[in-house]
Every structure is written in structure tokens, then in C-alpha cells.
């Protein structure tokens, strides 16, 4: 599956995001398998994965504010009456756009962000980070940023395989809502590597973030089982300090599904049955997704913002739409 062919004169997807995106995870819209509908009458684009009956959209339309509704309407018209749309990773300001069009909208998790101007490693909140970073340094872990175009892809592939194997034979690598090492976004992505005893044992990729809280997105994380405790924290702290020195505004930690679900975040157009199901998974569904572990890692960085994110289902929540969403993200 490849990105949709652009009409002559259509702006590159990255140019559209740079101009109009105001979403911490917007860069995921240029993942290799994600297709784009470029507005014919309205500027901007819709990012999506196609399906025979259920189409999955990533985030809301990336367009100027006044064009977002018309662009969404234009895209919905292309689906006809036989395909239904599910949009995922909507922000709070997007809920009304979909509710007005009859979508059922539920909170699916929370995203986290660090204001680099206010970040400090001091204080009780960051005690665990300091402890783990010190332990990794004592074990001899070093961190460097990989120069552009010089990644040892074989070494990183090996870490990916080891990471998946350590997760268990039923675990699959998530897609669509997480980044990738290659693809169209490769030239803009940054990768920080951890080495121990001369070998690469972990890496984290960071993607650019545009909009009101511009900066970087903590994206793809992989760690060998042989990496000492604190390796990932050391990698992230090294990158965070580098970004702060460069004058970046924010480091975003991304979406954690099933985390931070709360009545206060549910819109009036939410499905009560889906709310109950999501909270059941949040409490007992570690086999589906390690939400508590992911949330705990992000909270120990003492984030300055925690925001709900949503999924919107056209008309109502259909089992086929939920199944397609799980398949699209690689959860099943």
C-alpha cells in the first residue's frame, strides 16, 4: 500500500503539515502506508488508511481553521454511502467538528507534553529519572545522536527483533499511530543511540512538531533486553537537553491509549457502552496494550500538559469499525 499519487501542483504532504498542522503527532501522517486526500476546493489534506467498508483517518483535517469543515465534508463525500469513516487521535478542539456531522466521539487516551523552558531535573517529581540515569551512566552507557544518513540499519533491525521477542510471541509491532525509521519523513527525523560495551542497545527517534506548541515528538523507542536499567531515560534526557539548547519549545511524549480516561473528558456524543469497554481495558487489558507502564514512564517526566485524545465513529460505533481500527494500528 503506498501513498496516494498527488495531482500536479499539489503541495507536498510535509509542506502542508508545516503550514497547517497543530497536533503534537501530526508527523505520523506521512508514514509510508498512510494515504492523503488533498483538498480540491479547500486547502489542506486528510490522512487515512483505506478500507473496503471502514476507512481510518489519522487526526482531523490538516488545513486552515476555516477550511477544516469543508475539507472534511469533501472527503466524506468521496466515501459515498458504502464506506464509513473512523477518525483517531482527535484533539479536544476537533470534537465539535465531528459531533456536528453526527459522529459518535469517545476519549481513547491521553497525550503528554514537556515545556522545555520550564523543565528541570531537580525536585521530587524527577527523582526516579535521576536515579535511573545515574545507574545507566555507572554501567557505562553512552548516548549520541546519529548523524543524518549514517544509521546502522542492521543493528537497529536487530534491536527491533530482540525488543519484539522480549515482549512475547503474541505481541505485534504497532503501526499507523507510531512512527517509523524510514519512509518520506526520514530526512526530518532525528535518532539518538545508546551504546553499552561498544554495541548499540537502544534507540529513540524524534519527529518535528509544528503549530502552537512546536518542538519534537518522542516517537519510536526500542530497547534490547541487554540494555542496562535507565538506558531509555538517559537517551531521552540527552535528546531533551539537546533540543532545549537549540531553542525548541516542547518535547511531546505522544498518545498513550486507555490512559487518563475520565468522565470530565467525555463529550455528550460519546457511546456509553464504548466508554465502559475502554475503561475495562484500561483496568485489566495489559495483554492488549501496556497502558499503565507507558503512562507511568511519561508521568515520571512531570509533563506540563496532559490532554485527552479521541476517536470518532461515523453515525455510531460499529463492530466492523472497531475491528478495522485495531487492525490498522496493528493491535490485532
Answer yes or no: is pLDDT of 169 > 60.
Answer: no
Whether 143 and 221 have beta carbons less than 8 Å apart is answered as no
Task: Give the model's confidence band at 27: pLDDT under 50 very low, under 70 low, under 90 confident, else very high.
Answer: very high
Q: 152 and 189: one domain?
A: yes
- pLDDT of 1 reads 36
Domain that holds residue 270: 13-111+255-286+303-329
Q: 221 and 272: one domain?
A: no
Answer yes or no: is pLDDT of 164 > 80.
Answer: no
- pLDDT of 10 reads 55
Question: Is residue 309 one of the residues assigned to a domain?
Answer: yes
Q: 273 and 322: one domain?
A: yes
Region of residue 247 (phi > 0: left; psi between -120 and 50: alpha; otherwise: beta):
left
Tally of domains within the chain:
2
C-alpha cell at 164: 519484539
Helices (H), 58-126: 68-79, 95-99
Whether 18 and 163 have beta carbons less than 8 Å apart is answered as no
Question: Is residue 7 one of the residues assigned to a domain?
Answer: no
Q: 314 and 324: one domain?
A: yes
Mean per-residue pLDDT of the chain: 90
Question: Is residue 3 one of the residues assigned to a domain?
Answer: no
Q: 103 and 47: one domain?
A: yes
CATH code for position 148:
3.40.630.30
C-alpha cell at 29: 501522517
Average pLDDT over every residue of 31-49:
93
Answer yes or no: is pLDDT of 11 > 70.
Answer: no
- pLDDT of 325 reads 81
Q: Which residues pair with 38 in a beta bridge?
A: 45
Q: 117 and 82: one domain?
A: no
Answer yes or no: is pLDDT of 175 > 80.
Answer: no
Q: 39 and 100: one domain?
A: yes
Question: Is residue 228 one of the residues assigned to a domain?
Answer: yes
Answer yes or no: is pLDDT of 133 > 70.
Answer: yes
Question: Is residue 164 one of the residues assigned to a domain?
Answer: yes
Answer yes or no: is pLDDT of 285 > 80.
Answer: no
Rounded Cα–Cα distance for residues 255 and 23 (Å): 11
Mapping DSSP to helix (H, G, I), strand (E, B) and coil, where does residue 189 land?
A: coil
Rounded Cα–Cα distance for residues 211 and 56 (Å): 23
For residue 143, give the nearest of 190, 200, 194, 191 by alpha carbon: 194
Counted residue by residue, the chain has a size of 332
Q: 123 and 249: one domain?
A: yes
Q: Which residues pair with 143 in a beta bridge?
A: 194
- pLDDT of 199 reads 94
Question: Is residue 34 one of the residues assigned to a domain?
Answer: yes
Rounded Cα–Cα distance for residues 240 and 123 (Å): 17
Q: 56 and 175: one domain?
A: no
Question: Is residue 295 one of the residues assigned to a domain?
Answer: no
Average pLDDT over every residue of 185-214:
95
Q: pLDDT tens for residues 84-130?
A: 999 999 999 999 999 999 999 999 999 999 999 999 999 999 999 99
Answer yes or no: is pLDDT of 320 > 80.
Answer: yes
Question: Is residue 8 one of the residues assigned to a domain?
Answer: no
Amino acid at each position: 500500500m503506498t501513498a496516494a499519487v498527488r495531482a500536479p501542483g499539489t503541495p507536498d504532504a510535509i509542506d502542508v503539515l508545516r503550514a497547517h498542522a497543530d497536533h503534537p503527532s501530526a508527523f505520523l501522517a506521512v508514514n509510508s502506508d498512510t494515504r492523503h486526500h488533498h483538498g480540491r476546493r479547500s486547502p489542506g489534506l486528510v490522512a487515512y488508511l483505506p478500507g473496503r467498508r471502514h476507512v481510518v483517518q489519522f487526526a482531523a483535517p490538516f488545513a486552515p481553521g476555516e477550511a477544516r469543515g469543508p475539507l472534511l465534508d469533501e472527503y466524506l463525500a468521496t466515501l459515498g454511502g458504502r464506506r464509513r469513516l473512523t477518525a483517531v487521535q482527535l484533539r479536544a478542539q476537533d470534537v465539535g467538528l465531528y459531533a456536528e456531522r453526527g459522529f459518535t466521539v469517545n476519549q481513547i487516551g491521553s497525550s503528554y507534553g514537556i515545556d522545555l523552558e520550564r523543565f528541570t531535573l531537580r525536585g521530587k517529581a524527577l527523582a526516579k529519572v535521576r536515579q535511573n540515569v545515574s545507574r545507566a551512566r555507572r554501567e557505562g552507557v553512552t548516548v549520541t545522536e546519529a548523524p543524518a544518513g549514517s544509521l546502522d540499519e542492521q543493528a537497529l533491525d536487530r534491536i527491533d527483533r530482540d525488543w519484539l521477542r522480549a515482549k512475547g510471541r503474541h505481541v505485534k509491532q504497532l503501526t499507523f499511530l507510531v512512527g517509523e525509521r524510514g519512509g518520506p519523513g526520514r530526512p526530518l527525523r532525528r535518532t539518538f543511540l545508546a551504546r553499552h560495551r561498544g554495541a548499540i542497545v537502544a534507540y529513540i527517534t524524534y519527529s518535528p512538531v509544528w503549530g502552537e506548541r512546536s518542538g519534537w515528538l518522542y516517537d519510536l523507542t526500542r530497547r534490547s533486553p541487554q540494555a542496562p536499567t535507565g538506558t531509555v531515560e538517559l537517551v531521552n534526557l540527552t535528546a531533551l537537553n539537546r533540543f532545549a539548547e537549540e531553542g525548541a519549545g516542547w518535547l511531546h511524549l505522544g498518545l498513550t491509549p486507555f490512559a487518563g480516561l475520565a468522565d470530565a473528558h467525555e463529550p455528550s456524543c460519546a457511546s456509553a457502552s464504548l466508554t465502559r469497554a475502554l475503561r475495562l481495558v484500561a483496568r485489566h487489558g495489559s495483554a492488549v496494550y501496556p497502558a499503565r507502564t507507558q503512562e507511568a514512564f511519561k508521568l515520571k517526566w512531570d509533563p506540563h500538559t496532559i490532554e485527552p485524545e479521541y476517536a470518532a465513529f461515523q453515525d455510531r460505533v460499529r463492530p466492523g469499525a472497531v475491528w478495522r481500527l485495531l487492525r490498522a494500528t496493528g493491535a490485532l
